[in-house]
Structures are given as structure tokens and as C-alpha cells.
Amino acid sequence: MNRREFLQAGSGLALAGTLGSDPRGYAAEFAQRKPRVGLIGTGWYGKCDLLRLIQVAPVEVVSLCDVDKRMLSEAADLVATRQASKQKPRTYSDYRAMLKEKDLDIVLIATPDHWHALPMIAAVEAGADIYVQKPISVDIVEGQAMVAAARKHKRVVQVGTQRRSTPHLVEAREQIVQAGKLGKVELVEIYCYYHMRTRENPPDIAPPDYLDYEMWTGPAPMRPYNKLVHPRSWRAFMEYGNGIVGDMCIHMLDMVRWMLGLGWPKSVSSTGGILVDKQSKANISDTQLATFDYDNVKVVWQHRTWGHPNDPQYPWGATLYGDKGTLKASVMSYDYIPLDRNEKPIHKDVTYELEQYPEDKTEKDLERHVAPAIRHHMQDLLRAIEKRSKPVADIEEGHISTATCILANLSMDLGRTLVWDAQKQRVVGDVEANKRLRRPYRGPWKHPEV
């Protein structure tokens, strides 16, 4: 038995002894056999994800990686205060050096979107199971390669589409949708009306000395550095992600697919662009509509980063229209409105777990309403690792939702509807669209092959 087999065997025993029990009450005999965890990308959501995992599993965080030295150092200090051993993790500036150790059981990836594919593939090749943030990729071929790598190396990969693990939405799926209360659903509206697109136009400057901007850019096109690029507001640029469709639509689209059992759409069409705010450096759309056609079900997306939401109680969410009733669902609540006046409406608010997890009350930048969903998502990952089964947000499900959003952006850019062949993973009869399923990589980085 080599080191990795020993670690995995111990981790399996630990998980088998703790899953399904009180997440704080682990059996003493498993205390020394903890899954070894590494995190690539120690920014906002990297820490949110990692600290939720620490809350629900007897893990030892041994490795952290980031190209921002200041962010990396702060994360290492924080993790040391939160994990049971109080040990400070090893730190790396290059994920390849971290993975070369081949001593990690679980790797979390929370980099900007353009850096999801290569580290995820390298991590499964190194023998780790994965939690990767959404969207899994910025082009469709990347996603195909990620699914192929996970299957080839028989790794469990959970995608951070945690609506599938949000307690009140799990309830809505089971007690409203699957219980047949909506009747036949043929139209779903998904939407985001947050004023989340930056309106700034800061000057380009030299990167700070604590940031390796060359490595941060990686395979993406090299842009001049300014404060929008790093940290967090990199989502303002299509070079690093898939715009608001890739950031916000993917959550609601994935939730609807999960609730209704939808796979790939038959076609995708989208229109929009920068219609209102033409002054900012941001190059993502401020207005976009997309229709995902699933034959008998049409799922229609809209985002506006200006104006009022259609329903102030649901500024980001989904509305499922059935012939027996309507379901509105968001991260904050759900509402079931029956057509039958003799049937009572149902309302449910988000579940908080502030008393069970008091760290949530003081943790910087934590979305407290999302923390329970992340914890449940991590627990689902651990169950899948124990059973060597697919988690609720398996990499293939994440690929479908990601790629569908990418097709919407591509449709908008090309100005035409795209018909999708799910079996061949190609756009039907569209040479230009198929060329753009794979973006060019900046050297020396090599695009992953399927």
C-alpha cells in the first residue's frame, strides 16, 4: 500500500463513521484519519467553500495555492484558526507544484472561471476528488475534457451549483414539483435584475507586487491590469468568464433542470448586448434574453443590470408555470400559488443555521443565507466519495448547465439560433459556431483535449 492508498483508506473509514451523524460529533477513533484537502484559489468563494467543508467534515487542510501572495497568506492564517489541528497549511503559488505532492484526497477549485479547466484536470490526474466552482469552463471543449478526465480517472467531482443542496429548494422540488402540484409545466422564466455590472472605468496601472499577473492571466488573453481585474470584479470581462449568463443564469438554469429532470436543450437562441451602460470598461452584456428550448418546456432567461425587477421579492430566481399552479423560487424563499382557490398557497423562507454554526455570524463576506446550502453540498460530496458514486451536482450535470449558458452567449454574438446535437456535442450545420466551441489559449498553455 502506497501513501495515497493509505490516506484514501483512512479517509474512507473516517467518512463512513461520520456521515449521517451530528456534523460536530465525530467518533474519536477516526480523529487521526482525516481526508487531506487542498484549495486552489483562496479568494472570496474559495474561503467560503473551504470553511464550510471544515464545519462538516474531519478534514485536514494541508495545502493552499494562489498567485496573490497577500491573499494566500491571509487564507493560511485564517484556516489555522478554524481547523481542529490549528496547523497552518503549506502554501504554493503554482497549482502544479501543489499537485505534484500527490498527497491530497480532496481538491477545491475556486479560481476565476478561466482557470477552472486545467487545475481540475491536473487534480484528478493526481488522484484527488474535486469540488469545482461554476461555471466549470469558459468554452465547451474545456468542459468536455473535464468530464472525460473525471471519468477516465474515476474521480468524484462536485460542481458548485449548490441550489441542488439548498434546503428550502430541495423541499420545493420534492413537495411541490415532484408531488405534481404544478401539473404540467411548459414555461419557466429565469431572471436576474441585480445592478451587478460594474459602471467603473478605472485607469490601467501596473499590477501590484504581491500578484503574479502573468500566472493569474494564464491561458486567457492578456489585458492591461486595473482594479477591476483582481480581485472579484474580473467577472466584468468576457476574457475570464461567461458574463452574467455564466455567473447567474447557470444557477437558475441548473436548478430548473434538476427540478424538472431536463438534460440538453434542443436549441438555444439569445439576443442582447450592452444597451444602456456604454461607458464602463466592462465588456459583458447589461441586457440579455435567452430561450432554451426543451421541446415541450421553454426556459426563458432575462437579465437587466438596470431598472426595477419585475417582482421585488424575486430579483433573482425562477418562476415555473404549470396548469395547476405556479412556483416562484430563489435563494431566499419559495412561493407556491395554486390555481384552485380552495387550496392554500405555500411560502417557505431560506434556512439559516447560525446557532449550529456560530462562525457564520462573524465570518467576513460570507453570504449567510447560502452557507447551509454549501454545507449540504459538501456533505453530498463526502457521501459520494464514500460510495464512489456521482454527487448531486456531478461534473456532467455541471457541464450541461455551463455549456448551455455558453451557447446562449454564442447565439447572441452570432445573431442566430443554435441547434444542439447532444450526442455529437456539436452545433448542427454551423461551421463558425463549432469553431467557437473552443477558444484560443495564450501560450505556453495548451488547451485540454477531449
Residues of the chain with CATH 3.30.360.10: 166-353+395-435
Mean pLDDT value across the chain: 93
Predicted local confidence at residue 33, as pLDDT: 63
How far apart CA 106 and CA 112 sit, in angstroms, is 19
Residue intervals in the chain for CATH 3.40.50.720: 3-164
Residue type, 62: V
Average pLDDT over residues 143-161: 98
Query: Does the pLDDT at position 7 exceed 70?
Result: no
Strand order in the sheet with 267-273: 346-349, 333-338, 325-329, 316-322, 185-192, 297-304, 287-294, 267-273, 418-421, 426-427
Residue 26 in this model has a pLDDT that exceeds 50: no
Look at residue 276 and tell me whether its pLDDT is greater than 70.
Answer: yes
> 450 pLDDT band (50/70/90 cuts)?
confident
Phi, psi of 207 (to 5 degrees): -60, 150
CB–CB of 298/292 below 8 Å? yes
| DSSP run (H or E) holding 348 | strand 346-349
The structural architecture, per CATH, of the domain 166-353+395-435 is 2-Layer Sandwich (3.30)
pLDDT at residue 2 tops 50: no
Please provide the DSSP assignment of 146-180 as one string: HHHHHHHTT--EEES-GGGG-HHHHHHIIIIITTT
Backbone angles phi, psi at 86, to 5 degrees: 65, 15
Per cent of the chain over pLDDT 90 is: 92
Instruction: Enter the DSSP assignment of 21.
Output: S
Is the model's pLDDT at 32 over the cut of 60?
Answer: no
Cell 494564464, residue located? 218
For range 26-41, the mean pLDDT: 69
Fold type of domain 3-164:
Rossmann fold (3.40.50)
**Percent share of the chain, pLDDT over 70:** 93
282 C-beta neighbours (distance < 10 Å), count: 22
Give the residue-averaged pLDDT of 264-278: 97
Q: Is the pLDDT of residue 18 over 50?
A: no
The string of DSSP letters for 212-262 reads -HHHHHTTSPP----TTTSSSGGGG-TTTS-HHIIIIIHHHHHHHHHHHT-
Say what the pLDDT of residue 242 is. 98
Q: Provide the angle, in degrees to the nearest 10, between the axes of the packed helices 140-152 and 395-414.
A: 170
Three-class secondary structure assignment of 45-107: HHHHHHHHHHHHCCCEEEEEECCEHHHHHHHHHHHHHHCCCCCCCEEECCHHHHHHCCCCCEE
Residues in CB range of 178: below 8 A, 6 or more apart: none
Q: What is the pLDDT of residues 75-99, one digit of tens each?
A: 999 999 999 999 999 999 999 999 9
Q: Looking at the predicted structure, is the pLDDT value of residue 306 above 90? A: yes
Does pLDDT of 1 surpass 70?
Answer: no
Q: Which three cell numbers, joined as nine digits, stand for 108? A: 477545491
